A and B are shown apart, each in its own frame.
Chain A
Amino acid sequence: MKSDPKGVLTGAHFIDGDHACAEGAIAAGCRFVAGYPITPSTEVVERIADRFPLIGGMFIQMEDEIASSIAIQGAVWGGKKAMTVTSGPGFSLMMEHIGLAAMTEVPCVFVDVQRGGPSTGLPTLPGQGDMMQARWGSHGDYGIIALCPNSPQECFDFTIKAFNLSEQYRVPVLLMMDECVGHMTERVIVPPADQIEIYPRRFYEGPKEEFLLFKPDNDMVPPMVKAGDGYNIHVTGLTHDEKGYPVMTVAAQEKLVHRLIDKIKMNADKIVEYKEDQVEGADVVVVSYGITSRVAIPAIDQARKEGMKVGHLRLIVAWPFPEKRIKELATKIKSFVVPEINYGQMVHEVERHSAGKVRVELVGHGGGAVHNPKDIYNVIKNSVKG
């Protein structure tokens, strides 16, 4: 399916990452946004509030993030594509409803423009400290998808991708931006609507009397219906059967929760996405994501100039994590270097999947700025020595 041309601002723009995210949502067909504005994500909802009245969308400034994250799920059951936008403190408040969206398989998008934390931390300055929270923040077990853009162009492209993945797998998708990417202004190309691929909602097409709200297709994802279209709908965060009714048994829990995990895990090869640069034959591979994937480039260039064999693996999809690729590389290289604007989060995944076969070096940063590329270079240099 192609994007609805209504609202797609085809052309070249010089806009920041927050605004590009808003345009991506519009191009993806999002017509409902609820949010509680918070720096550094405010410009996303500002633009949405400005643009939505012209294209038939609805934006509600909610009383808080808890309300925002549940309002969007109501809109999805009403047939809309919906998103909420926040930063660290708000992301923490949304955890309960990220779990609800995972449990009740609501396709929706959560945008987290990361800033320095914990707590209110550094509102106007960058951080990447919400990465593990993105994976594990809500209680219980579930699968999740998280994307990491590193430019305003990618904020546009990946917001569309986030909506598409959420519809394909009926899962909340997290767009993990950061303050630097959100407030950075660059050229953003918005293609013509007929060149923007949209994954349509998977509506149930079988006979009404056989309809079961949570009966999965072969790929483990159940098709949806709209509330009010005459189907029996019962949606609950309690453990439920295929009808959606609460069933408090070990067997029901096992069946449901396993599927919530497996629909992402078993499809991981299709979801995982990363970009590699000179990884073949490298001694050291830098694993990076978000803004840090750009900050690492001068460090890598410098090391290469001095003859070091350095590869770069940049995560586009952080969750699910590219475990297979890390496992494979761990048998070929000497070490991984992982720069991130936190004191060690995604580095744990690299360590886990390289399973002690190679050295894994964190280049940590407490937040409030991006790394000085020299700090990344120094760690690369030391790790080449072995």
Chain B
Amino acid sequence: MSRTEIKIGGFGGQGVILSGYIIGRAASIYDDKHSTMIQAFGPEARGSACSSQVIVSPTEIAYPYITAPEIMIVMSQEAYTKFTPELANGGILITEEELVQPHNLRKDIKHFSIPATRFAEELGKKMVLNIVMMGFMTAVTNIVDVEAMRKAVKVSVPKGTEELNLNAFNKGFEYGISQKAKLN
């Protein structure tokens, strides 16, 4: 694996920043890799488009920003429209199936989708949709070791919600494995 750039987009409140944080924490603390996370930092309001960018690399990261992400996770239509043109050739696009209509989907990329919000609701809390997404992403990209991701999820979510969040992660992960099998 070489330097890999990841962009996560959605609207404020979906856990976009926490998702980036979990990937970076898993990679750099529990998976012996390097990681740099930068969050779009501006006078944005809750509910508007927001994004986080994470770099995962086996070696030290010099330039800290992403230029052409190889992995993109979008959880809102606005984020889809705004960010997908940035995705690198041959990159992986992951969308929230019921929130994003992939209009004019680029032909040069791999696309996966998951009804993460619905899965989260079935687990009892809509809020964990980002963690469902993280499980799914881990399965379809292999960017970070799955156990490292589980550890990072466990220590990054509010106390008392660990089990719910790990269930959410596993749900997304299993769905990812099945989707990937279909593709092959």
Contact = CB atoms under 8 A, between A and B. Distances in A.
Contacts of B43: 124
Interface residues of B, number: 19
B19 interface: no
A184 interface: yes
B36 A186 contact: yes
Given A183-B41, A186-B37, A297 B63 contact: yes
Interface string A161-187: 000000000000000000110011111
A295 interface: yes
A186 B35 contact: yes
B11 interface: no
B124 interface: no
A146 interface: no
A1 interface: no
Which residue, of B25, B43, B64, has the highest number of chain A Cβ atoms within 10 A?
A: B64
A134 interface: no
- Give the interface SS of chain A, mostly helix, strand, loop or mixed: mixed
A183 B38 contact: yes
A294 interface: yes
A295 B37 contact: no
A373 B42 contact: no
A298 B63 contact: yes
A370 interface: yes
Given A14-B25, A14-B29, A184 B62 contact: no
B32 to A, nearest CB: 10
A363 to B, nearest CB: 15
Interface string B18-62: 000100110011000011111101110000000000000000011
Contacts of A186: 24, 28, 34-37, 61
B43 to A, nearest CB: 7
A143 interface: no
A12 interface: yes
A291 B38 CA distance: 13
B41 A40 contact: yes
A370 B21 contact: no
Nearest to A123: B43
Chain A interface extent, by class: 10 to 19
Contacts of A187: 28-29, 34-35
B36 A184 contact: yes
Which residue, of B41, B61, B65, has the highest number of chain A Cβ atoms within 10 A?
A: B41
Given A124-B43, A187-B28, A370 B34 contact: no
Contacts of B39: 183, 185
A49 to B, nearest CB: 20
B35 A291 contact: no
Given A124-B41, A124-B42, A185 B36 contact: yes
Contacts of B42: 124
Contact of A180 (B25, B35, B64): B64
A10 to B, nearest CB: 14
Which residue, of B25, B42, B61, B62, has the highest number of chain A Cβ atoms within 10 A?
A: B62
Contacts of B29: 12-14, 187
A13 B24 CA distance: 11
Interface string B47-89: 0000000000000011111000000000000000000000000
Interface string B77-106: 000000000000000000000000000000
Which residue, of A179, A183, A184, has the highest number of chain B Cβ atoms within 10 A?
A: A184
A374 to B, nearest CB: 11
Contacts of A13: 29
Contact of A297 (B34, B36, B62): B62
A14 B62 contact: no
Contacts of A370: 64-65
A291 to B, nearest CB: 7
A316 B35 CA distance: 22
Given A183-B38, A184-B37, A298 B65 contact: no
Nearest to B39: A183
6 A-B pairs with least C-beta separation: A297-B62, A14-B25, A187-B28, A185-B37, A294-B62, A124-B41
23 contacts: A12-B28, A12-B29, A13-B29, A14-B21, A124-B42, A180-B38, A183-B41, A184-B36, A185-B24, A185-B37, A185-B38, A185-B39, A186-B28, A187-B35, A294-B64, A295-B62, A295-B63, A297-B63, A298-B62, A298-B63, A370-B64, A370-B65, A373-B63
Given A184-B36, A185-B39, A298-B62, 12 more contacts: A14-B25, A14-B29, A124-B41, A183-B39, A185-B24, A186-B34, A186-B36, A186-B61, A294-B62, A295-B62, A295-B64, A370-B64
